[in-house]
Amino acid sequence: MNNFSSICVIGLGYIGLPTASLLGTKGYNVIGVDVSKNVIDTINRGEIHIVEPDLDILVKSAVNSGNFRAAASPAEADVFIIAVPTPFNDNHQPDLSYVEQATRKISPFVKPGNLVILESTSPVGTTDGCVAKILEAEGHDIINDVFIAHCPERVLPGRILIELIQNDRIVGGTTEKATQVASKFYQEFVSGQVLETNAKTAELSKLTENSFRDVNIAFANELSIICEDEQIDVWELIKLANRHPRVDILQPGPGVGGHCIAVDPWFIIDRAGEKAKLIRAAREVNDSKPLWIIDKVLDKASKFKRPSIACLGLAFKANVDDLRESPALNIVRALKEKDVANLLVCEPNIKTHPEFEIVDFQTAIKKADIVLILVDHKEFKSLSSASLIEKMVIDTRGITK
């Protein structure tokens, strides 16, 4: 009954672009909408504006096939997918303005029988209270005519194209019928299982997944601080504890970055308030870890007149070029501000940075008095212990252990 042949994707970022180009290569007729003219022009040339393995090949092939084009405005389609950012404001309150704008933008093009999917990570109640509410206010029959569902994206940056297809997907409609229609759509191109629920449960499941990880990383970060006082190697400790069949602790680091794990728990805290004690404490532990690292570096630096510090990595995690919400970047920025050392900043995944000169990492190591390892990029893992002799090493990722 539901025939999905044309798709309109709103937002061509880390989720929207891979999704739109994947659907284009699967034979759907896809239009991708973005607010940036530069993004639209880049994609229509068959090129990409973000770094993700194999995404360039996928976009080129989808655009060349004629099935995928980018534009500034939406068009009529069978399925609308909203994949816009859901950041938070200064008080850690969710900013749903992009979701609101996207919904208003598609509204004139939505027809009876259409499916509208919100993929953006959203606070509980957004699919109903924002997307459905706006469409209803604009005259759509959201019970019988237009099917609205939340299907949170769950892909890991660096593995997006694989996980888009292979991950299980959670689909929650604002009505049972909407759940079924959305589920049928995802089953057309997902090889993982499509799990059906309601919109609110789908929203909270995504927030729960990222909060689980945040809480577990906070536990590891807290252990790392405790271990420092006890002069215990935290990485050895975790490795040993994880040999227990029911223990699986994640890894400590310089803090938690990216635009997901450090953000999504706040969407739970914002609604649950005092009830979300543990989730809030985990956020605070992870947010305070960069400050602890900065103090440690300043303490070591005070032992020199004006040391050279090789800062290895700016990205928010290994093997990506993404610097958003990166604890590594914030630590290097703070050290620059303190101005107690010459910084040799290395980031193999980017060529230039507006604030720092990017230095080749082998050269940086040679010149450095202090080596500060902030990201476990594959390039840094080849660091030989011989090259670190007579250097003071601060390894926030445990790669030299």
Binding site for ligand SAJ (CB under 6 A): 121, 153-157, 209-210, 213, 217, 250-251, 253, 256-258, 260-261, 316-317
Q: Are 119 and 190 a contacting pair, CB within 8 Å? A: no
Q: Are 207 and 121 a contacting pair, CB within 8 Å? A: yes
Please give the structure tokens belonging to residue 300.
Answer: 């070591």
Please give the structure tokens belonging to residue 323.
Answer: 């610097």
Least CB distance to ligand SAJ at residue 273 (A) = 23
Please give the structure tokens belonging to residue 43.
Answer: 């994609």
Q: Which is nearer to ligand SAJ, 132 or 256 (CB)?
A: 256
Q: Are 161 and 54 a contacting pair, CB within 8 Å? A: yes
Burial-class residue 66 by CB neighbours within 10 Å (0-12, 13-18, 19+).
Answer: exposed
Instruction: Give every CB contact of residue 171 below 8 A, 6+ residues apart in sequence.
Output: 149, 150, 151, 179, 182, 183, 186, 194, 195, 196, 197, 202
At 224 the three-state DSSP class reads helix
Q: Which is nearer to ligand SAJ, 175 or 251 (CB)?
A: 251
Instruction: Give every CB contact of residue 16 below 8 A, 6+ residues apart in sequence.
Output: 9, 10, 32, 34, 81, 83, 84, 119
Least CB distance to ligand SAJ at residue 342 (A) = 26
Residue nearest to ligand SAJ (CB): 260
Least CB distance to ligand SAJ at residue 399 (A) = 12
Q: Which is nearer to ligand SAJ, 256 or 335 (CB)?
A: 256
Least CB distance to ligand SAJ at residue 154 (A) = 5
Q: Which is nearer to ligand SAJ, 193 or 362 (CB)?
A: 193
CA angle 17, 23, 25 (to 5 degrees): 100
Which of these is catalytic: 151, 260, 311, 346? Answer: 260
Q: Which is nearer to ligand SAJ, 40 or 372 (CB)?
A: 372
Q: List residues bridging with 171 in a β-sheet.
A: 196
Least CB distance to ligand SAJ at residue 207 (A) = 9
Q: Which is nearer to ligand SAJ, 324 or 353 (CB)?
A: 324
Least CB distance to ligand SAJ at residue 153 (A) = 6
Instruction: Give every CB contact of residue 46 below 8 A, 6+ residues apart in sequence.
Output: 59, 60, 63, 64
Q: Which is nearer to ligand SAJ, 2 or 251 (CB)?
A: 251
Has 206 been annotated as catalytic? yes
Buried b (16+ CB within 10 A) or exposed e, 379-393: bbeebeeeebeeebe
Least CB distance to ligand SAJ at residue 328 (A) = 8
Nearest to 327 by CA among 361, 291, 359: 291
Q: Are 214 and 265 a contacting pair, CB within 8 Å? A: yes
Which of these is catalytic: 8, 105, 151, 206? Answer: 206
DSSP string covering 310-370, please?
EEE--SSSTT----TT-HHHHHHHHHHHHT-SEEEEE-TT-S--SSS-B--HHHHHHH-SE
Annotated catalytic sites, by residue?
206, 260
